[in-house]
Amino acid sequence: MRPVHVAAAQLGPIQKAEPREAVVARMLALLDAAADKGCDLVVYPELALTTFFPRWYMEDQAEVDTWFEAEMPNAATQPLFDAAKAKGVAISFGYAELTPDGHHFNTSILTDKTGTIIGKYRKVHLPGHDEFDPERAFQHLEKRYFEPGDLGFPVWQTLGGVFGMCICNDRRWPETYRVMGLQGVEMVLLGYNTPSVNSQKSAEGPEDRLFHHRLVLQSGAYQNATFVVAVAKAGVEDGHPLIGGSVIVDPNGKIVAESLTEDDELVTAVCDLDETVFGKETIFDFARHRRIEHYGRITSQTGVEVAS
Amino acid sequence: MRPVHVAAAQLGPIQKAEPREAVVARMLALLDAAADKGCDLVVYPELALTTFFPRWYMEDQAEVDTWFEAEMPNAATQPLFDAAKAKGVAISFGYAELTPDGHHFNTSILTDKTGTIIGKYRKVHLPGHDEFDPERAFQHLEKRYFEPGDLGFPVWQTLGGVFGMCICNDRRWPETYRVMGLQGVEMVLLGYNTPSVNSQKSAEGPEDRLFHHRLVLQSGAYQNATFVVAVAKAGVEDGHPLIGGSVIVDPNGKIVAESLTEDDELVTAVCDLDETVFGKETIFDFARHRRIEHYGRITSQTGVEVAS
């Protein structure tokens, strides 16, 4: 038994006008509740500190930068790190990162139980577009405000196991899980802000969006014999609805816990990392079964190449 | 509209003593029924001509070779090709292939509507083991009787679209779909023989097996915006149960048709290949979104490498 008691700390909506300090207060309340339940690890959503600002078109870079964090921890988030240390709980959350040399990333971090950052991930698969798109029902400007992550998909040994991170749209790409799976990942942590309607296809509403969301998490977990903890920012932000559906998925691809609301909500499970062993040693024993000589296109070509 | 009317021609069990001619007669009956419905393409299971012989441990290679086909078409299967031509229906089915130079593959072929073979695929991901395993509830000796396929995952332009094939366990590997997706595949055809119970974990029964089966098909379809047609050999062969669950999955990952029995059964759907376009041009526009610089491990390492 290698139990990790994990909490998916779903956040309800954050309005554009809501300051970071108010959000951190909500995150602290969830952290307290998780600590009271005996959790080892609390996972918050992508861009947890603010509204999902990539829905807003901005031309002034100074305005854009107000949504970013130039340091982590900083004044607004220091209480989170202090509480993690005081409670002896590891945390993970996402934020918009502005580096000292002016780069912009959609980032998440992982701490140990002393509130020390031990891992950083920068979102690789940025969805959306980079210019104002009048054809869309609403904007999704991640490709405008962020650069693609430059750290790959590392994993970290902590809490008795092997942990990885990804963010939102990364979860739709099997490469995400596989690169971590090839490093023996046992629990993948991810946050997301997923609009309830496809901005380019209004018929694709929350039911379909939740279906796809669960489908990719469950298959990624099963195909790599890993737990996956997926945490929503949910509910209606300034008129824009986001799906909930925070889930903890086991290495069989089964959902073991799921949120019931679109508000601040704690979803918890005790995950025995030894449950990853059977899959990794049998049907997904990569060393015995993978045939990399036939996978070349996956890394040699980016887009589709149709034979003539 | 680029409609392809496809039939998943599920086969019920084939007992060890049942000759190929009797199986082909059943396949012809399904072909006739599909032609009567106006189908363009009929897809049969993996190793469609015989029982799933890799469950039987054999040491005599001459005995092993009795389960293989040295030519295709051959005397037993010529009626299938003749009927395909006469009815103007393309077909795909799996068989054990013995090449003129003595290689053994788990193979499937695709014909056009004149009964001419236009595509051949050899199973890449062989499950199971190569020596008798007394720990298992039953044997699964694919690694003993077959070599891994040597043709990769090609696709073929036919019936107005781009078609690919894979076989059984290939469907659990996201690399399978992705290599075809990178060639613009619009419909993946696959047959399978999947035991209803995990030979190494008796608690994993038909419900779990069907769950994993659907999960990997649906995610593979969604993540590559392709139809997937998956066809079972089902039912109890000489006391060994195989799952049914033949399905046609659309490019949204939704099941549009599914078998109801574990017997010979036709599952049909009209699939508009233009339904693949939206996914390929938006969320899964590979050229815009994939980041191959971070996928290196997928092709550079076969097994897990845990950082020290």
Q: Least CA distance to A215: which residue of chain B?
A: B219
- The verdict on residue A306 lying in a domain is no
Number of domains composing chain A: 1
B147 pLDDT higher than 70? yes
Asked if A24 contacts A95 with a C-beta cutoff of 8 angstroms, the reply is no
pLDDT level of residue B8 (50, 70, 90 thresholds): very high
Give CA–CA dist B129/B160, Å, rounded: 39
pLDDT at res. A308: 65
**Closest in A178, A287, A289 to B298, CB measured:** A178
A168 in active site: yes
Give CA–CA dist B8/B245, Å, rounded: 11
Q: Least CA distance to B169: which residue of chain A?
A: A283
Given the residues A168, A186, A265, A280, select the one marked as catalytic. Answer: A168
Given the residues A46, A97, A262, A265, select the one marked as catalytic. Answer: A46
**Closest in B126, B215, B307 to A253, CB measured:** B215
Q: How far is B40 from chain A (nearest CA, A)?
A: 23
Q: How far is B144 from chain A (nearest CA, A)?
A: 13
B306 pLDDT higher than 90? no
Asked if A4 contacts A273 with a C-beta cutoff of 8 angstroms, the reply is yes
Beta bridge partners of B162: B157
CA dihedral A39, A232, A176, A290 (to 10 degrees): 70
Average pLDDT over residues B58-79: 98
B291 touches chain A (CB under 8 A): yes
- The verdict on residue A54 lying in a domain is yes
- The verdict on residue A176 lying in a domain is yes
A46 in active site: yes
pLDDT at res. B219: 98
Give CA–CA dist B4/B271, Å, rounded: 5
Q: Least CA distance to A302: which residue of chain B?
A: B287
pLDDT at res. B307: 76
Task: Give the N- to C-terminal CA distance of chain B in Å, as an integer.
Answer: 54
Please confirm whether the linkage preceding A195 is cis (ω < 30° from 0). Answer: no
**Closest in B172, B220, B295 to A298, CB measured:** B295
User: B211 contacts in A (CB within 8 Å)?
Assistant: 253-254
Coil, helix or strand for A149? coil
Token code pair at residue A111:
């701490």
Task: Give chain B's mean pLDDT.
Answer: 98
User: B251 contacts in A (CB within 8 Å)?
Assistant: none
Which CATH number goes with the domain that contains A122? 3.60.110.10
**Residue matched to tokens 């005790």:** A270
- The verdict on residue B91 lying in a domain is yes
Phi, psi of B60 (to 5 degrees): -90, 115
A171 touches chain B (CB under 8 A): no
Q: Least CA distance to B288: which residue of chain A?
A: A303
Give CA–CA dist B159/B4, Å, rounded: 7
- A182–B211 CB contact, under 8 Å: no
Q: What is the 3-state secondary structure (H, E, C) of B49-111?
A: CCCCHHHCCCCCHHHHHCCCECCCCCCCCHHHHHHHHHHCCEEEEEEEEECCCCCEEEEEEEE
- The verdict on residue A154 lying in a domain is yes
Phi, psi of B91 (to 5 degrees): -135, 160
Asked if B48 contacts B94 with a C-beta cutoff of 8 angstroms, the reply is yes
Domain that holds residue A194: 3-276
Query: How far is residue B227 CA from its own chain's centroid?
Result: 13
Who contacts B227 (Cβ-Cβ below 8 Å, separation ≥6)?
B6, B186, B187, B188, B221, B248, B249, B250, B251, B271, B273, B275, B276
A281 in active site: no
- B222–A215 CB contact, under 8 Å: yes
Query: How far is residue B137 CA from its own chain's centroid?
Result: 24
Token code pair at residue B191:
């047959």
Among B151, B157, B282, B302, most A C-beta atoms within 10 A, so best to mutate, is B302
A:B CB pairs within 8 Å: 193
Cβ burial, residue A102 (10 Å; 0-12/13-18/19+): exposed
**pLDDT tens digits, residue range B196-210?**
999 999 999 999 999
Coil, helix or strand for A33? helix
pLDDT level of residue B48 (50, 70, 90 thresholds): very high
User: A148 contacts in B (CB within 8 Å)?
Assistant: 291
**pLDDT tens digits, residue range B163-175?**
999 999 999 999 9
B214 touches chain A (CB under 8 A): no
A59 touches chain B (CB under 8 A): no
Amino acid at residue number A119: G
Token code pair at residue A224:
């790599």
Q: How far is A205 from chain B (nearest CA, A)?
A: 13
pLDDT beneath 50: ranges in chain A: none
DSSP A162: E
- The verdict on residue A78 lying in a domain is yes
- The verdict on residue A302 lying in a domain is no
**Residue matched to tokens 């006008």:** A17
ipTM tops the 0.95 cut: yes
Residues 129-158 of chain A with CB under 8 A from chain B are 148-149, 152-153, 155, 157
- The verdict on residue A304 lying in a domain is no
A212 touches chain B (CB under 8 A): yes
Q: At what angle do helices A20-36 and A78-87 cross, to 10 degrees?
A: 10
DSSP B128: S
Who contacts B8 (Cβ-Cβ below 8 Å, separation ≥6)?
B43, B229, B230, B231, B246, B247, B248, B257, B259, B266, B267, B268
What letters, b where the CB count within 10 A reaches 16 and e where it falls short, cover B76-111? bbebbbebbbebebbbbbbbbbbeeeeebbbbbbbb
pLDDT at res. B308: 65
